[in-house]
Every structure is written in C-alpha cells, then in structure tokens.
C-alpha cells in the first residue's frame, strides 16, 4: 500500500536518489532548502512500514509553493521503476489539495516540451497548456511548456478519489 505524506529530512537521501534519475535534477541542498520554505510543502509517495528494510520506501516526491491566490508545482518526480502506477497522479492531487486549503485558486507548473509522459499526466489531472518559454531548458536544450489549472472556488478541495 502506498500513501502520500509530508516529506521529512529523513527522506532526503531517497528523494536525492529519485532526483538522480530525473532530468533537471535538484541538488541535496535545494531539496533541503525547499523543505524549510514556510510557503511550501514537500510530499512523498511512500510504501507502508516494512520491517525488512526498517522503514518505508519512497517511490516519488513533489514540491509545491503557495503564494495566494496562486501556487506553483515546482517539482514532481517518480522513480523510473515505479512509474505508470498512479503515484504521480496521487502526488499531484494531494499538492492540489494543499494549494486549495492554503487559498490558492490556481496552480502553475512548467515542464520540458519533450517530456510527453509528464504532459499526458498533467492533462489527466485537469491542467491545460498556458504558455511556452522558448529555449528555457539546457542540457539538453528544450522549451518549457507552462501548465495551469484553476479550481472552481478557492474553498474547493479536489478529492484523491476523483
């Protein structure tokens, strides 16, 4: 069973391992810094407690920052061995819930134009293409597609069951 929970400093090593598999990887310092940001929230998709490994395994993580009435999903990454199992969708929906509870009616994110699987996921989560930043990414060079979702009312909290 997998659940979404706030990330803690004990999760940094597992998050860093996921980041090393992702394009535009964040450094350990960036991850730790974002965990301390008072306007943000870092979440992990974690397995239930496993006595054989003395803890739970982290399958993915995300980071959102709120500046009402807007929020930005700064990062979402799922370990390659655990993709296409729904963990990314669960992370995004919980990030949306966090944004709505913190009075953010709109959530933005940016993604590499060539990251087609992520773009499909964002569309499945109700996000729409909003703008393009030409030649935004380097190593490898790519455009950034900005996605946006607006909730019907700030008090509306998207459900994980949706």
CA 124 – CA 131 distance, rounded (Å): 18
Average pLDDT over residues 139-143: 88
The number of beta carbons lying within 10 Å of the beta carbon of residue 21 is 13
More confident residue, 125 or 55: 125
Which letter, b or e, does each residue of 5-17 get, where b requires 16 or more Cβ atoms within 10 Å of its Cβ? eebeeebbebbbe
Q: Residue 132: pLDDT above 80?
A: yes
pLDDT for residue 98 is more than 90? yes
Return the pLDDT at 96.
Answer: 95
Residue 12 tokens, joined:
């940094």
Give dist(CA 7, CA 75) in Å, integer.
Answer: 13
Domain layout of the chain by residue ranges: 2-150
Q: What is the 3-state secondary structure (H, E, C) of the chain?
A: CEEEEECCHHHHHHHHHHHCCCCCCCCHHHHHHHHHCCCEEEEEEEECCECCCCECCEEEEEEEEEECCEEEEEEEEECHHHCCCCHHHHHHHHHHHHHHHCCCCEEEEEEECCCHHHHHHHHHCCCEEEEEEEEEECCCCEEEEEEEEECCCCCCCCCCCC
pLDDT of residue 161: 44
Read off the pLDDT of each residue in 80-96 and give the average, rounded to a whole number.
90
Instruction: Give the pLDDT of residue 155.
Output: 45
**Domain 2-150: CATH superfamily, name plus number:** Gcn5-related N-acetyltransferase (GNAT) (3.40.630.30)
Per-residue pLDDT reduced to its tens digit, 28-68: 999 999 999 999 999 999 886 544 444 568 899 999 999 99
- For the chain, the average pLDDT equals 87
Region 25-30 average pLDDT:
90
- Reply yes or no on whether the pLDDT at 111 is more than 90: yes
The pLDDT of residue 159: 46
Q: Say what the pLDDT of residue 147 is.
A: 96
Inform me whether the pLDDT recorded for 162 exceeds 90. no
Give the pLDDT score at 82: 81
């Amino acid at each position: 069973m997998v659940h979404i929970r706030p990330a803690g400093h004990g999760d940094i090593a597992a998050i860093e391992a996921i980041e090393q598999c992702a394009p535009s990887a964040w450094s350990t310092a960036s991850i730790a810094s974002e965990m301390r940001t008072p306007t943000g929230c870092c979440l992990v998709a974690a397995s239930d407690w496993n006595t054989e490994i003395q803890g739970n395994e982290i399958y993915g993580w995300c980071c959102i920052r709120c500046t009402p009435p807007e929020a930005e999903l700064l990062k979402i990454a799922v370990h390659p061995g655990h993709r296409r199992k729904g963990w990314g969708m669960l992370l995004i929906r919980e990030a949306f819930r966090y944004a709505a509870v913190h009075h953010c009616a709109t959530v933005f994110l940016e993604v590499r134009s060539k990251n087609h699987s992520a773009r499909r996921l964002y569309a499945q989560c109700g996000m729409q293409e909003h703008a393009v930043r030409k030649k935004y990414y380097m190593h490898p060079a790519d455009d950034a597609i900005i996605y946006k979702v607006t909730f019907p009312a700030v008090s509306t909290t998207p459900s994980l069951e949706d």
